[in-house]
Amino acid sequence: MSCCERHGAAGPVAVDPALAGLRIRPERLLGRLEQLAAIGRTDEGACCRLALTDEDKAGRDLLVSWMRELGLEVRVDRIGNVFGLRRGTEDLSPVMSGSHIDTVRTGGRFDGNLGVIGALEAIETLNDAGVRTRRPLVVGVFTNEEGARFAPDMMGSLVYVGGLPLKEALDTVGIDGKRVGDELARIGYAGDAGLGLYRPHAFVELHIEQGPVLDIEGVRIGAVESLQGISWQEVTITGQSNHAGTTPMRLRHDAGYCAAAIGTKLREIARELGGDQVCTMGLVKLHPNLINVIAARATVTVDIRNTDEATLREAERRFAAFLEELAAAEGVKIETRRLARFEPVQFDDGIAHLVEHHAGRLGLSCRRMTSGAGHDAQMLARICPTAMIFVPSIGGISHNPAEDTRPEDLAAGTDVLLHTLLELAS
């Protein structure tokens, strides 16, 4: 049952007039976002805090210090998820909000960070106003959401909800040959709290959209009601290196050519299926990677997404059939390794409705939408009613140092989060 069914046909319950005017402090929110963004800042102005690196540790340490300043009870679980609990007036299941602070190598300032710092800001606003909620509030910071160093993405939240055995997650080896469990221990975040520590009454994640829809339409808030399915795999092609000048084209077993053909085929599959279908080859490694040597080996990663599970499967089927043809035609061996596979998720309609309601009450334009990116919320949705709040990304740019969101939109999204949490926890 939706936790918000009581809001159904009758609409949301009336907001306590004394609390309706409560607003977050934008300068405090922006200040914390900047402080966190300074950790791992690159020369290009990007944020580089790959999961479980020294930079991730420094970001976590800063967050934990903020949680303690706000009087939250901090606990770290065995996959390194960090939780800050604010007690309610009753010992009920908590309302949880949060996101991640790891980034891709070329990350921006807000991806994930806004969801965590926004939740802290909502809590500090309640502290300042002396408001106690009936249910506890928990800020969750999930390990390795990005999956850029260790696949799968959303690893911490996936383990939290029981979707991936802890041992398998800890044994995962990253792109630099390091093991999750060792890196977690090295940075001091292999905690002892049990997995699934809190079973939330509801989960709400504030996030930048990372796409163009809100920006193009000039809408301030997205009430996110669904999230598309994600298929990740690694493809390894083994051919034969040989001399680039002397080997006739008909005698080649060229892994580099196969990698390029895969990139082209992915674009073709997306074009043929149309609609929401997206396909990306994000990583390419060639060996020996020299100008005058035909590549003996290529490794590429493939990211295929769709809001519709049947179409996503069709894209995967077409891609697998292509790999077979390619291997036979070029005389190479092609192996695939599954890195992640998540079906599309439908979020809780009642919470999406609450988000719309509070956006409207705060005078903010709002639309229902789907998420193109993966988020911890898609994992939490397996165990509790969940939805997300999006704010616009300027130019729809993300996973890029130029990622940006207007300060007033960051604040507006956090105000909507505050009131959504307040109502869910009342």
Q: Are 357 and 11 a contacting pair, CB within 8 Å?
A: yes
Q: Which is nearer to ligand GLV, 145 or 349 (CB)?
A: 145
Q: Which is nearer to ligand GLV, 323 or 373 (CB)?
A: 373
Minimum CB distance to ligand GLV, residue 235 (Å): 18
**Integer Cα distance of 409 and 20 in angstroms:** 19
Minimum CB distance to ligand GLV, residue 255 (Å): 26
List the structure tokens of 291.
């100008």
Residue count of the chain: 426
What are the backbone angles phi and psi of residue 112, rounded to the nearest 5°?
85, -50
Count Cβ atoms below 10 Å from residue 186 Cβ, excluding itself: 15
Minimum CB distance to Mn ion, residue 148 (Å): 8
Q: Which is nearer to ligand GLV, 135 or 149 (CB)?
A: 149
**SS3 assignment, position 279:** strand
Q: Which is nearer to Mn ion, 298 or 388 (CB)?
A: 388
**Integer Cα distance of 72 and 426 in angstroms:** 19
Q: Does 146 bind ligand GLV (CB under 6 A)?
A: yes
Q: Which is nearer to ligand GLV, 99 or 238 (CB)?
A: 99
Q: Which one of Mn ion, ligand GLV, none interacts with residue 181, CB within 5 to 8 A by kind?
A: none
Report how many residues bind ligand GLV under the rule CB under 6 A.
4
Give the DSSP per-residue string, 12-32.
SPPPPHHHHT----HHHHHHH
- The side-by-side arrangement of strands in the sheet containing 333-342 is 278-287, 297-306, 229-238, 333-342
Minimum CB distance to ligand GLV, residue 104 (Å): 7
Q: Which is nearer to ligand GLV, 123 or 315 (CB)?
A: 315
Query: x/- contact string, 330-369, with ligand GLV (CB under 6 A)?
Result: ----------------------------------------
Q: Which one of ligand GLV, Mn ion, none interacts with residue 374, CB within 5 to 8 A by kind?
A: ligand GLV
Give the DSSP per-residue string, 60-125.
HHHHHHHHHHTTPEEEEBTT--EEEEE--SS--PPEEEEE-----TTB-SSTTHHHHHHHHHHHHH
Q: Which of 358, 327, 108, 132 is nearest to 208 (CA)?
A: 108
Q: Which one of ligand GLV, Mn ion, none interacts with residue 356, CB within 5 to 8 A by kind?
A: none
**Integer Cα distance of 141 and 173 in angstroms:** 22
Q: Rule CB under 5 A: which residues touch Mn ion?
A: 111-112
Q: Which is nearer to ligand GLV, 159 or 373 (CB)?
A: 373
Q: Which one of Mn ion, ligand GLV, none interacts with residue 156, CB within 5 to 8 A by kind?
A: none
Minimum CB distance to ligand GLV, residue 230 (Å): 7
Minimum CB distance to ligand GLV, residue 197 (Å): 24
Q: Which one of Mn ion, ligand GLV, none interacts with residue 102, CB within 5 to 8 A by kind?
A: none
User: Can you tell me which of 55, 56, 77, 153 binds ligand GLV, judged by CB under 6 A?
Assistant: 153
Count Cβ atoms below 10 Å from residue 268 Cβ, excluding itself: 13
Q: Which is nearer to ligand GLV, 117 or 421 (CB)?
A: 117
Q: Which residue has the closest beta carbon to Mn ion? A: 112
Q: Which is nearer to ligand GLV, 155 or 298 (CB)?
A: 155
Q: Which one of Mn ion, ligand GLV, none interacts with residue 153, CB within 5 to 8 A by kind?
A: ligand GLV
List the structure tokens of 134.
């009936």
Q: Which of 144, 159, 127, 161 is nearest to 22 (CA)?
A: 127
Asked if the peptide bond before residue 152 counts as cis, ω within 30 degrees of 0, the response is yes
Minimum CB distance to Mn ion, residue 171 (Å): 24
Burial of 140 (0-12, 13-18, 19+ CB in 10 A): buried
**Where do contacts with ligand GLV occur on this chain (CB under 6 A)?**
146, 153, 373-374
